[in-house]
Amino acid sequence: MDLSKLNGPQLQAVTCTEGPLLVLAGAGSGKTRVLTHRIAYLISEKDVMPWNILALTFTNKAAGEMRERVERLVGPSGSGDMWVLTFHSFCVRVLRREIDRLGYDPKFVIYDDTDQQTLIKHVIKDLNLNDKVFTPRQLASQFSAAKNHMPHDPAAFLRESGAIRQVSDAFSVYEKYLKKNNALDFDDLLLKTVELFRTEPEVLDSYRLRFRYILVDEYQDTNLAQYEIVRLLAGEHRNLCVVGDDDQSIYGWRGADIRNILEFEKDFPGARVIRLEQNYRSTGNILEAANLVISNNRGRKPKTLWTERKGGDPVDLFIAQDDRDEAQHICRIILGDVRRGRSYSDFAVLYRTHAQSRVLEMYLKSYDIPYRVYGGVSFFQRAEVKDIIAYLRLLENPHDDVSFRRVINTPKRGLGDGALSLLESRAAEMNSSLLAAALKLQHENSRYAARLGQFCGVLTGALGMLGGSSLAELTEWLLNEIRYEDYLRDDKKENYETRLEIVNELVSYMAEFEESLPSGEVTDPLQAFLENVALFTSTDELDSAAGQITMMTLHSAKGLEFPVVFLCGLEQGLFPSEKSRFDPERMEEERRLCYVGITRAMDSLHLSYARERMNFGRIEPAVPSVFLEELEPVLPVQQTGSRKNSGQTHGFGSAFQPRAGFSLFPDAPASSGDKHALKKTVPAGQKPVRPVPVELKAPAFTFAAGQRVSHAKYGPGTILSLSGSGGGQILEIDFDGGQIKKFSASMAPITPLED
């Protein structure tokens, strides 16, 4: 096997095959090359059977790329029966075979976020909870946190974490409904696998015996359940190789635990550690910026990226007057580079929050620049696709009440809330599913009997076609029987032709999917298709952005690379986020997010911040991000808005504690008469914001940091900080309701509270 193209540390990581190994792979250091060559080396040089290898990663795209690369190295026959899967796909494969030991039917369905929230709405209704206080999204987040942080007993975690009784009760009912529906949510796929391995030793032993060599990609993103799965599988033979970068751990908010990678040597004594620090993606100037930022984190394993691509374009900084000025600058840079030969697909605009995309989109459209906002509605989350999938899921799992509720009156067939209420009552009496209740009621003397008979007849006819027809043929028959095209034509909510194209695309995808299944290996194509849809992630859609610039949040950009990257909105409270201000762990994760954004750039990196930004309908002054202070050694003096910086330093050290004479507008007179800073335009359709008067009166009260105050709208709160003086004084207030906002001391309805 040719290993000559590997550098020294990569070669060590590939050939060190026995025992625990931690590969610290910096951004752009060739970790996929190491993983695939290591698998190929095990097969071709160490005579390991492919079915003794398990490789786990986080996205279908990464798993597919890994499989293809291994096949190119050892050939299709040499890599057969090797499991290269996402964590969730691995768990589904195990559970389909073994979940009956836990009291579930192997034909369980997988609920995505939308299905989960639909079920929680039913829980809220059942418990008569205030749906303004207990929202499905909020409860889903709390349930997921409980399952991520306490895989042994999530209900106990909720109680111990101080969750109020209603949340704990809602969780118990939610779990009961999942079991009744023979359904698992995404967290359950992991937790049920952990439960299976812990309670069924012979099952664990069988998988330990099979998978003698385990590889894990993006180990810094694993949560407690994923960590436990890996620990249990590798606990005996210890031939475990994990590859990751603690500097790119950015998913703490969804359960990822950076301690898994930081404490690997503690968890697996005798582990070897190899660092991959040579970067093959970015120029020297970009890497210098990345190293400057991340070196400020304390909770990390030291490493320094380097490259043979010395120099390169200097890191660019633009100081915009406002978010519109920032968007216009980005458009002008893109158009100029395109005229010089770059493709639109070379560019990515990265931001901290989705809300920032609105102004950017407005300007991209005005300049006729093709773009795609990544992270919008997924194909499989479209309403018409969810409708069809719900019918198919009900055929596969008759216990799925969530799917039943979606299709019972779609298209409308006179089976609305009244019929559903009757079915729910009968299902409760029978202790059965809603479909079982419908099958019973269709033969009884009921006003809904005929309509239920028609509905059940469609499902019965579809069931009769299973096994004898292709998925595409079955779906076309079903769509014709329910007259779904007529339903789309009569529904005025959205363009009929567009929605029909989506439906046709789904049917075409079904045909392609079934043709791609290995002959003789899959006995239930419908189950395989539904599983594929459930495990589909938004990252699998990215390739369709060819010929367009890519717009996405920094979290979505991880694992990607672009020749030119714009990292915008580098302002305190926006990036890093306000929530991280008094939380050192969150601040370190925000810094890792900045590092990820910087290292997406291959050739050019453009940074920008605005002196003021529209926020909740108000124009608010902005302070440059602390990250810009950390980057100052690599930032040249740049053009600001439409004026030069006149040789002044950036003054980013003022971000937290302003020096005497510090101004949010470094190149402008430090007075309230800066008309350029005060005059604003408002996009069409938005209510105009009243401009701040030039002559501002001094505040009626004297304020100080830590003082308790009250706002007429937001209620009581505590002043976090003050900036400016006299009529231009700005107060930053942490309100008791959980919001942090900034106000003009002279204009806002704020009064001191008595101690």
Catalytic center residues: 31-32, 217-218, 248, 600
Three-class secondary structure of residue 178 per DSSP: helix
DSSP assignment string, 566-616: EE---BTBTTTBGGGTT-HHHHHHHHHHHHHHHTTEEEEEEEEEESEEEET
708-711 and 715-723 as β-strands: parallel, antiparallel, unpaired? Answer: antiparallel
Other CB atoms within 10 A of residue 189 CB: 22
Cα(293)–Cα(588) distance, rounded to whole angstroms? 10
**Half-sphere exposure of residue 456: CA atoms within 13 angstroms, side-chain side:** 17
Closest by CA position to 268, among listed 219, 302, 335: 219
Whether residue 370 is preceded by a cis peptide bond, meaning omega within 30 degrees of 0, is: no
Question: What values do phi and psi take at 531, rounded to 5?
Answer: -65, -40
User: Residue 31 class from Cβ within 10 Å (0-12 exposed, 13-18 middle, 19+ buried)?
Assistant: buried
Closest by CA position to 187, among listed 83, 88, 114: 88
Identity (one letter) of the amino acid at 378? Answer: S
Q: 81 and 50 in contact (C-beta within 8 Å)? A: yes
Retrieve residue 553's tokens. 């949040």
Identity (one letter) of the amino acid at 183? Answer: A
User: Residue 209 class from Cβ within 10 Å (0-12 exposed, 13-18 middle, 19+ buried)?
Assistant: exposed
Other CB atoms within 10 A of residue 535 CB: 19
**Half-sphere exposure of residue 34: CA atoms within 13 angstroms, side-chain side:** 34
Identity (one letter) of the amino acid at 123? Answer: V
Cα(631)–Cα(653) distance, rounded to whole angstroms? 11
Q: 184 and 111 in contact (C-beta within 8 Å)? A: yes
Q: Please give the DSSP secondary-structure letter assigned to residue 416.
A: -
Angle at 255 between CA 55 and CA 559, to 5 degrees: 50
Q: 385 and 349 in contact (C-beta within 8 Å)? A: no
Long-range contacts from 438-446, C-beta under 8 angstroms, 24+ separation = 438/404, 438/408, 446/422
Question: What values do phi and psi take at 527, rounded to 5?
Answer: -60, -45
**Half-sphere exposure of residue 566: CA atoms within 13 angstroms, side-chain side:** 26
How many angstroms separate the most distant Cα atoms in the chain?
87
Q: 633 and 343 in contact (C-beta within 8 Å)? A: no
Cα(677)–Cα(691) distance, rounded to whole angstroms? 10
Could you tell me which residues come within 8 angstroms of residue 75 by beta carbon, excluding any fewer than 6 positions away?
A: none
Angle at 280 between CA 274 and CA 282, to 5 degrees: 120
No. of helices (H) and no. of strands (E), the chain? 29, 21
Q: 749 and 712 in contact (C-beta within 8 Å)? A: yes
Relative orientation angle of helices 87-98 and 186-199, to the nearest 10 degrees: 50
Retrieve residue 20's tokens. 């625990």
Cα(150)–Cα(73) distance, rounded to whole angstroms? 41
Could you tell me which residues come within 8 angstroms of residue 235 by beta carbon, excluding any fewer than 6 positions away?
A: 208
DSSP assignment string, 126-145: HTT--TTTS-HHHHHHHHHH
Q: 78 and 106 in contact (C-beta within 8 Å)? A: no
